[in-house]
Chains A and B, each alone.
Chain A
Amino acid sequence: MSEQFSRRDFLKLAGLGAATTAILTGCGPASRYVKREPYQQMPEYNSVGQSTYYATTCRECAAGCGLVVRTYQGRAIKTEGNASHPLNLGKTCARGQATLQGLYNPDRVTDPNKTGSAMEWDAAIQVVADALKKYKPDEIAFLMGMAPDHLFDLVTDMANATGMNAPIRFGALGMFEARATLSKAAETLFGQAGLPFFDVGGAQVVLSFGANFLETWLSPIPYTRGFTGLREAKTKLRGKFVQFEARMSATGGKADEWVPLRPGTEALVALAIGQIAAEIRGGAMPKAFSSVDLLDVASKSGVKLEALEHLGELVATTNGVLAIPGGPALGQSNGLAVAEAVLALNAFAENIGKPGGVYLSALAPNQTEANRPASAKEMQEFVEKMASGAFKVLFVHGVNPVFELPKSIDFKSAMGSVEQVISFATFPDETSAEADYIFPDHHGLESWGYQRVATGTAQPVLSGAQPVVSPFYNTRATADVLIAAAQLAGGKFAEALPYKDEVEFLQTKVSSLMSESDGSFTAPDAFTFMAYFQQYGGWWKNTDARLSSGTSGILNANISAEEAQFAGEGEFFFVPFVSPTLAEAGANKPWLQELPDPTTTVMWNTWVEINPETAHELGLHNDDMVKVISEVGEVQAYVYLYPAIRPDTIAMPFGQGHTAYGRYAENRGANPANLLGGHFNEAGDLAFAGMRVKIEKISSAVSGVGLSRMESRMGVYGEALGEEH
């Protein structure tokens, strides 16, 4: 099926090739856009024409999936996955589908402005140029979104040439994925940093310690595809999937066995399973596993000894065991030990660099070393520098730190210590509301660019982006603004960015790939190469470039078998998780708001998940309003009696609780980041799951007020049916 489908797309794309080439040769930036006929002003007697399809890259998260956007008379009307893109093979997630609701969002920043009053772009560029000129390079800081894209390269070039601070990338997704921890653990395993890639599809048994790989984790589409491979295995039995977590995530909901261990004991459980497996298999006990006492683990983790033994047997006797660390398991004080313990299981299963095992993700084309987004610790240092006045001007692009950072890292007040904050936000978010200037960038579908694919595919991929519609508003590409400002500023800045515009910069960067061998396409000249790059939606190598030579030294390492430390007081462990449908930036898209959460089916709001037994003891009911109190703050949300959460744990989704960000996001739900304290693990990731919290009932449920659920409480939970409850 996918074969034929990809051919269809290919035909469509091929038809575009010539036209795009024509556009690219010898036109200025303004004419590089397709002409848009607004729907409302369609010429009379207009007959229904053919749609045009453009390949580009999805900007809804940092994964870098390829999109093919259907446009009709200059309007983008549907996004589909790019079938030839190695990362997502024609598939999209809900956020990718809803990207058009960002493009056509009624609450975009329409003009460059100074705290609300519109200004001309010339003046705006002058402001940027002045800022570059006025301050010393090391007083200029750049904060960007998580995606390793062309803008990051441009700013890096600028920083390298001028001595400006290197740009910092950050995103809440990376924080909740604990990317720094993963990267560091990978270093132990592979000898070099980078994101590990877990070949779920090739495995026979998957043990996931908190990794929500079917939701937002690293690159959900390839992992979902892997899950399909696990379940639909053609040559082997249906694979088994075991999830270890205190609160059943959407991923855990698909598990054959769900093990609700006590938060903080993931490392112990992993090591215990390893110990049992090693015993069953015989031979020398690996040093890594020897430090735990099984009975002790069973009592601490709440996982019965028989269950541990059963899992150990599974690991010892099955070929194709794969263990994945992720999510809340890593976001704890002992997160690094958890990652190492889990990776040690892989080493024990001897799957490093083998199908169904763990690889180190390939470096993207044009990339010399892995480059991860900043950890929360690094962000804290960055914010401290801001607060100390070390930065005189701060540029913010593609990230909303005021909303995303934990409360303990006070970005908002630190912004006050920076003389000039210039935001390039497309949407009026919390950070841009505090900025001195907003010089809005285009929406992703209106922009040029490329993006490195950090993980998720065997091939190194540089995903290409091009505008599929001409810009709706008086926005301008940030790269263009920076290039123009650098020219104005002159000196080293002008030298660093000797380009006419963004497109020329892209051509320069992309055409450097022409000399690479084994690429997905070749071209006789730079222009044609660039045209193909746009047409196919990127350039990738045809070979598997994942690093597959791991060291088994991890089995002999000393892995700490300590439990995690929990900060704060309160009777509950607290598990914040990223909303699978909204993620960090989806709240302003009405259809994402109206998608039911996969586990709770709640729409348009935030909830607190509590075990029904616990709730019963506390006298809490569905839709009661409660206050969750941590050591640093408190938030209010409705109670959701969630049957699949430990009685000593409560959980909240991250993604709502905006105070700005447009009509669909504003004043809706609560932001659990406001509960998070400044505790980090050894790798510098936030111990977001290392908190203890209290809850207080504020008000009882009122009929007709409460969470909007897709599910029927009567039909699913038997409420009000005259049954016992």
Chain B
Amino acid sequence: MIRPEEIKMSTEETGKWGMVIDQDICTGCQACVAACAMENNITFVGEEDAGYGRSMHWIRIERFWEGEYPEVKMTPQQPMLCQQCGHATCEPVCPAFATVHSQAEQLNLQVYNRCVGTRYCANNCPYQVRAFNWRDYQRPEPLPNQFNPDVTVRRMGVMEKCTFCIQRIHKAQDKAKSEGREVMDGEFTTACAQACPANAIVFGRVDNPESLVSQLSHKGHGVKHLEELGTLPNVTYFKGG
């Protein structure tokens, strides 16, 4: 549970892990989406459900149109994923404490086996980045061989969302700890950032002013989505050139 004084704290700090996404170089190639699905055991839902807004993507690439032919332009692709808000709107509304704030990592956690499926968190997420398991989607044998043992396989009726690849964070931290050092900037990264052929996604510690991600996020023309709601998002976007 977040107490008022903690909320104040998180207003002062900007979080721990963060991401910078450069929309100018994102080509919309979907490599991040595929990488995320492969890393996090995300299920596919099939044509009908996917077309009805039930796809399980933890990251989606949004694009809009500007103008009319022939002056038409595709707006810069906007990869939209959980912004790991410092003051998340999804957290207080869950009656079962299934979506909680990690004090250690400053991330929004989703506790799958605590989730009862009221879907209030998803309703209240202004970014609409939460995915609900509407059914027990079939993954015929031997597809389950692919499951990443570090990531829980979710079943029907629970909410899920981007975790900033917390399993990778933990692995890197364990490794650093066993070697008696701090996790280095760039030592590991999320699946989406690792795959991104354009290097449009940079991940790291935003509370470390030396890190690449904080240097980029302070470059000036970065935008945080729906910041006006007071959500303290930890993903910074660069809109264009």
User: A and B touching (C-beta < 8 Å)?
Assistant: yes
B140 touches A97 (CB 8 A): no
A710 touches B29 (CB 8 A): no
- Write out the residue numbers on chain A whose beta carbons fall within 8 Å of the beta carbon of B141: 106
Contact check: which of B55, B147, B195 meets A97 at CB < 8 Å?
B195
- B window 174-188: CB within 8 A of A: 184-188
- Write out the residue numbers on chain B whose beta carbons fall within 8 Å of the beta carbon of A647: 69
- Write out the residue numbers on chain B whose beta carbons fall within 8 Å of the beta carbon of A3: 186
Docked Cα-Cα span, A643 to B64, in Å, equals: 11
A644 touches B69 (CB 8 A): yes
A106 touches B142 (CB 8 A): yes
Residue of chain B at shortest CB distance from A95: B34
A225 touches B198 (CB 8 A): yes
Decide yes or no whether A104 CB sits under 8 A from chain B. yes
Contact check: which of B47, B65, B142, B198 meets A643 at CB < 8 Å?
B65
Most buried by A among B146, B185, B197, B204: B197
Decide yes or no whether B38 CB sits under 8 A from chain A. yes
- Write out the residue numbers on chain B whose beta carbons fall within 8 Å of the beta carbon of A643: 65, 68-69, 72
Stretch of A249-257, A319-327, A426-434 on the interface side: A249-257
Decide yes or no whether B107 CB sits under 8 A from chain A. no
Docked Cα-Cα span, A595 to B50, in Å, equals: 10
- A window 230-256: CB within 8 A of B: 231-232, 238, 248, 250-251, 253-254, 256
Number of interface residues of B (CB under 8 A): 65
- Asked, given contacts A39-B147, A77-B148, A97-B195, whether A596 binds B72 with beta carbons under 8 Å apart, the answer is no
- Asked, given contacts A238-B241, A591-B34, A644-B72, whether A580 binds B29 with beta carbons under 8 Å apart, the answer is yes
Docked Cα-Cα span, A225 to B68, in Å, equals: 30
B25 touches A599 (CB 8 A): no
Contact with A along B28-69 (1 / 0, CB 8 A): 111101110111000011111011100101001111110011
Contact check: which of A97, A251, A668 meets B34 at CB < 8 Å?
A97
Decide yes or no whether B118 CB sits under 8 A from chain A. no
A101 touches B46 (CB 8 A): no
Size bracket of the A interface: 35 or more
A39 touches B145 (CB 8 A): yes
Residue of chain B at shortest CB distance from A469: B145
Residue of chain A at shortest CB distance from B137: A590
A5 touches B189 (CB 8 A): yes
Decide yes or no whether B91 CB sits under 8 A from chain A. no
Docked Cα-Cα span, A208 to B119, in Å, equals: 47
B47 touches A708 (CB 8 A): yes
B51 touches A709 (CB 8 A): yes
B146 touches A77 (CB 8 A): yes
Docked Cα-Cα span, A678 to B70, in Å, equals: 32
Docked Cα-Cα span, A221 to B196, in Å, equals: 9
Contact with A along B196-209 (1 / 0, CB 8 A): 11111010100000
- Write out the residue numbers on chain B whose beta carbons fall within 8 Å of the beta carbon of A472: 142
Contact check: which of B30, B52, B189 meets A1 at CB < 8 Å?
B189
Contact check: which of A2, A98, A104, A603 meets B51 at CB < 8 Å?
A603
- Write out the residue numbers on chain A whose beta carbons fall within 8 Å of the beta carbon of B196: 91
Most buried by A among B35, B57, B186: B35
Docked Cα-Cα span, A569 to B72, in Å, equals: 29
Residue of chain B at shortest CB distance from A49: B149
Decide yes or no whether B73 CB sits under 8 A from chain A. yes
Work out how many contacts link A and B, with CB atoms closer than 8 A: 215
Decide yes or no whether B1 CB sits under 8 A from chain A. no
- Write out the residue numbers on chain A whose beta carbons fall within 8 Å of the beta carbon of B145: 38-39, 75, 104
A596 touches B197 (CB 8 A): no
A581 touches B51 (CB 8 A): no
Q: How far is the CB of B170 from chain A (nearest CB, A)?
A: 12
Contact check: which of B38, B57, B140, B200 meets A79 at CB < 8 Å?
B38
Docked Cα-Cα span, A602 to B241, in Å, equals: 28
B51 touches A706 (CB 8 A): yes
- Asked, given contacts A594-B55, A603-B47, whether A228 binds B199 with beta carbons under 8 Å apart, the answer is yes
Contact with A along B131-157 (1 / 0, CB 8 A): 000000000111111111100000000
Docked Cα-Cα span, A220 to B77, in Å, equals: 18
Q: How far is the CB of B214 from chain A (nearest CB, A)?
A: 13
Docked Cα-Cα span, A580 to B25, in Å, equals: 17
B146 touches A100 (CB 8 A): yes
Residues of B within 8 A of A (CB): 22, 24-25, 27-31, 33-35, 37-39, 44-48, 50-52, 55, 57, 60-65, 68-70, 72-74, 77, 140-149, 184-189, 191, 194-200, 202, 204, 212, 241
Known: A75-B146, A81-B195, A595-B33. 16 other contacts (CB 8 A): A3-B186, A39-B145, A98-B34, A104-B142, A227-B25, A227-B27, A254-B74, A590-B44, A591-B38, A594-B37, A595-B30, A598-B28, A598-B30, A603-B55, A708-B51, A716-B64
Nearest 3 A/B pairs, CB to CB: A708-B51, A604-B47, A253-B74
Interface CB pairs A-B, < 8 A, 17: A39-B147, A75-B145, A77-B146, A81-B194, A101-B143, A105-B143, A214-B29, A227-B27, A232-B22, A593-B44, A594-B37, A594-B50, A604-B47, A644-B72, A645-B69, A706-B51, A710-B60
